[in-house]
Chain A
Amino acid sequence: MNILVCISHVPDTTAKINFDAAGKGLDSTGVQFVINPYDEFSLTKALHLKEAHGGSITVLNVGGSETEPTLRKALAIGADQAIRINATPTDAITVAKELKNHIAAQSYDLILCGQESIDYNGQQVPAMLGALLNLPFVNACVDLTIDGSQATATGEIDGGHETYSGTLPLVVGGKKGLVEEKDLRIPNMRGIMTARSKPLAVAEPTENGAATQAVKFVKPAAKSAVKLVDSVDELVHLLHNEAKAI
């Protein structure tokens, strides 16, 4: 089984987010970058599928050279090879088109993404990719089984779940549930050593032209100090009369 895992390189969940003085983009000073948490579930699922069915795992990122440590980490966790498409994408469609061009020239059985990257919270790339490739897509995927060329996948929908069946190749936007938290793997020394000799290829982009333009970023207005109340009756009164929340 040939599996592609699309990896997005994002600020660590504990990062304090600041923007540059002009508000044009993230101020990455002091920010640690990690594999997008949703992609980590997908990567681990790929490892499980490889262990069960054999095959190879490719990890891919569309990004500048600063994302290579993140790809190396994915190799250390167990991916077989990495590809970086050397572009600094400014929107999802640019990423999706780059991924499409790469995938169209390969033969992947399964394309695993994360549900969403926690930086720009787009939740766009995987569904765009499915549409561009005319391949079935399952978002918020919390369960996936493969039987030959058949896939059964369950996705979260508002207030419940939906299960689908289809034929490979399939595009997935994964999340916790695809594998459990305890299944996530931390790279060990051996993994880190072997990752150094695994291939990390750099490919040049084939697309240009974004469809959207970020104009400015600001931080949400700071909350004023909390009002501590002593009784639930006072709380109900304030929620009704002051906050107009009930």
Chain B
Amino acid sequence: MSIIVFVEDWNNVFKKASFEAVSYAKSWADLAGTSVTAITSTHAQDPGTLATYGADRILTLSLSATPFGTAQQLAAMAEEATGIVIAGTSFGRSVAPALAALANGSLSTNTTSIPSSIAPVTVERGAFSSKGIETIELSGNLPIVSFVPNSIGIVETHGIGAVSSFDAAGTDLLTVTDKTVASGKVALPEAEVVVSAGRGLKGPENWAMIEELATVLGAATACSKPVSDIGWRPHSEHVGQTGIQVNPNLYIAIGISGAIQHLAGVSASKTIVVVNTDTEAPFFKAADYGIVGDAFEVVPQLVNAMRAFKAEQ
């Protein structure tokens, strides 16, 4: 028996959230007094590196292209699992519930803590769009945890790291006909820093300074809902209750009023900075640091100050 962790790669390179998933599995395995088994693609580069985060056994297999096929493959391991960990990436968010249904598991998604107890497995998860924190017991069969990327952190440790191959069948019920991913950009759900802007920026032509700030900080860019509704920015950047929910270490909100629906998707961020001309903007109530000022003056200054800071590091 062991804690099984699904390790996702992107173009054969492990995702950052995958290292976090192995770290999660390691914390859980230590509590349960068991080992960590990582499951990953045969194409992944250097599977042995997973030992750095605590993997004792690394099984590689020819992974299915769709979440359903992958869930079937993971379900083949269910008998050996004390528990299963899956990072809440877009792929993982489809795999975990399918796996719970196939393996008759007990699932927590949107999880933000490691287990506080293992009999039964008890974790915290976000509910009501970060307006609430739920403590949940995985009281059924086979506990499965899907966690919010960047909520646990990556921990380096030592695992045995024995790599071997493994075979399990998965059926893809769909054919992937096209895949497009913006290259060179930090994916929003995994980002440690997010630079986000709203209607206060007046028009899409003013986003260059936002992108520049994001580049300096190695950040992902995001926006408020009206900004994506008007088409100034792509839908995929819309954060909030009805958009992507983020929890970076740092969220910088520029020209965003801080409506309740916006805050619902970003308030889990560890540190929030607000730049707004209006001292009464509700966002200041949810912020750690604020600058009352015009984005068109403050942002270029901030780009320079951050660039100077980064150069010193």
Contacts and interface: CB of A to CB of B under 8 A. Distances in A.
Interface stretch (A57-65, A67-75, A118-126, A185-193): A118-126
A239 B271 contact: yes
Interface stretch (A48-56, A79-87, A128-136): A128-136
A92 B217 CA distance: 39
Given A159-B188, A215-B135, A246-B217, A123 B93 contact: yes
Q: In terms of DSSP, what is the predominant structure of the interface of chain B? A: mixed
Interface in B82-120: 89-91, 93-102, 104-110, 120
A136 B174 CA distance: 6
B132 A217 contact: yes
B302 interface: yes
A119 B241 CA distance: 10
Nearest to A120: B127
A238 B180 CA distance: 38
Given A137-B98, A228-B290, A246-B217, A220 B107 contact: no
B122 A215 contact: yes
B313 to A, nearest CB: 9
B302 A211 contact: no
Contacts, number: 266
Interface stretch (A1-9, A102-110, A138-146, A199-207): A138-146
B1 interface: no
Contacts of A175: 242
Given A119-B128, A121-B126, A211-B106, A127 B94 contact: yes
A210 B107 CA distance: 11
B31 interface: no
Contact of A212 (B91, B108, B177, B229): B108
A137 B93 CA distance: 12
A21 interface: no
Interface string B125-137: 1111111111111
A232 B294 CA distance: 12
B45 interface: no
B168 interface: no
A121 B242 contact: no
Nearest to B125: A121
Nearest to B228: A176
Q: In terms of DSSP, what is the predominant structure of the interface of chain A? A: mixed
A164 B176 contact: yes
Given A17-B132, A119-B128, A227-B290, A245 B271 contact: yes
A96 B101 contact: yes
Interface string A132-167: 101111111010000000001101111111111110
Interface of B: 66-68, 71, 89-91, 93-102, 104-110, 120, 122, 125-141, 173-182, 185, 187-190, 193, 217, 229, 235-236, 238, 241-242, 245, 249-250, 260-261, 264, 267-268, 270-274, 284-292, 298, 301-302, 304-306, 309
Given A37-B242, A236-B302, 17 more contacts: A13-B242, A119-B128, A131-B71, A159-B187, A160-B179, A210-B140, A211-B141, A226-B289, A229-B291, A232-B302, A236-B305, A236-B306, A239-B289, A240-B309, A243-B289, A245-B250, A245-B271
Interface of A: 11, 13-14, 16-17, 19, 26, 37-38, 92-93, 96, 118-132, 134-140, 142, 152-153, 155-166, 175-177, 181, 210-220, 223, 226-230, 232-233, 235-236, 238-240, 243, 245-246
21 contacts: A13-B261, A123-B93, A123-B110, A128-B97, A130-B98, A135-B173, A157-B91, A158-B90, A159-B187, A160-B180, A164-B174, A166-B175, A177-B235, A211-B100, A212-B140, A214-B134, A226-B274, A228-B284, A243-B289, A245-B249, A245-B271
